[in-house]
Amino acid sequence: MPRNRKKHDSPLSVGSWIRAVLLCLFLGGTAMGYVWQKSQIHQIGTEVRKKEVRLELLKGDNERWQQVRAEMRSTQNLYDRVRKLGLGLTMPQPEQVLRLSDLPLDAKELKQSKPGEYRTVANKPRRKRP
């Protein structure tokens, strides 16, 4: 009997079987794809969140270092450091300041400079405006 059943003509043709299988594969693949895509979205979302937290921490660090830099650069701190380290730094006196006036090469005559003023001649002549 089983042999005979095997010999019976199947009500479904091979083509139908293939279509059914393909349909199942398509549906299964779509479902898998959907789940995979959802998983990816979730994973990316988690990564985004982690990165946001990291960004927030880095911003916090940045602010902390900015504050440290601001404190180190504060006038009071600089004066205290100079005093503490005994560097002997003082503000320049006017007689210690050399003033340089850069004259163009084509200057007809060098004017008399004031005491303490040093005049130089520019290496390149001034470019004329087009």
Partner 1 sequence: MMLVSLITAGYVGLGVRLVDIQVLQHDKHAAHALDNTRRKVIQASRRGDILDIRGTVLATSRIAKTVCADPSLMGTHQQLVARAIAPFLGRGETDLAKRMQRRVYTDAEGRQREDKHVVLKRKVLLEDWRGITNALAHIEFGVDVKSLPRKERLKYYNVRRSVFCERIDSQLRVYPSGNLAAHVTGFVGVRDPEGSSVPMVGLEGKHGIEIMLDSELEGVRGWRETETDRSRREVVAFREYNVKPRDGMNVVLTIDANVQYIVEKGLEALCAKHTPASACIVVVNPRTGAILALANRPTFDPNKPGDSNAANRRNRVITDVFEPGSTFKIVAVSGALNEGVVRLHDRFHCENGRLYFAGKVLRDHHAYGELSVREIITKSSNIGTAKVAMKLGASRLHKYISELGFGQRSGVPLPGEVRGILHPVRNWSKLSISRIPMGHEIAATPLQLVMAMSAMANGGNLMRPLLVDRLVDRDGNVVMQYEPTVVRKVIHDETAQQMVKTLITVVSAEGTARQAWLENYTVAGKTGTAQKPSKTRRGYEAGKYFSSFIGFLPAENPKLCIGVFVDEPHNGHYGGVVAAPTFKVIAEKSANYLGLEASMPVKPMSEQKPRVVLR
Give the one residue of 29, 33, 104, 116 binding partner 1; rule: CB under 8 A: 116
Give the one residue of 13, 16, 67, 120 binding partner 1; rule: CB under 8 A: 67
Minimum gap (Å) between residue 113 Cβ and partner 1: 12
Residues making up the chain, counted from first to last: 130
Residues 76-95 that bind partner 1 (CB under 8 A): 76, 79, 83, 88, 90-95
Does residue 59 belong to the site contacting partner 1 (CB under 8 A)? yes
Classify residue 103 as exposed, middle or buried by CB count within 10 Å of its CB (0-12, 13-18, 19+). Answer: middle
Nearer Cβ to partner 1, position 73 or 127?
73
Structure tokens at 103: 């004259």
Helix (H) or strand (E) holding 34: helix 14-73
Structure tokens at 15: 């083509």
Give the one residue of 71, 111, 118, 126 binding partner 1; rule: CB under 8 A: 71
Write the CA distances from 73 to 7, 27, 63, 77, 78, integer angstroms: 96, 67, 15, 7, 6
Task: Provide the binding-site residues for partner 1, judged by CB under 8 A.
Answer: 41-42, 44-46, 48-49, 56-57, 59-61, 63-64, 66-67, 70-71, 73-76, 79, 83, 88, 90-97, 99, 114-116
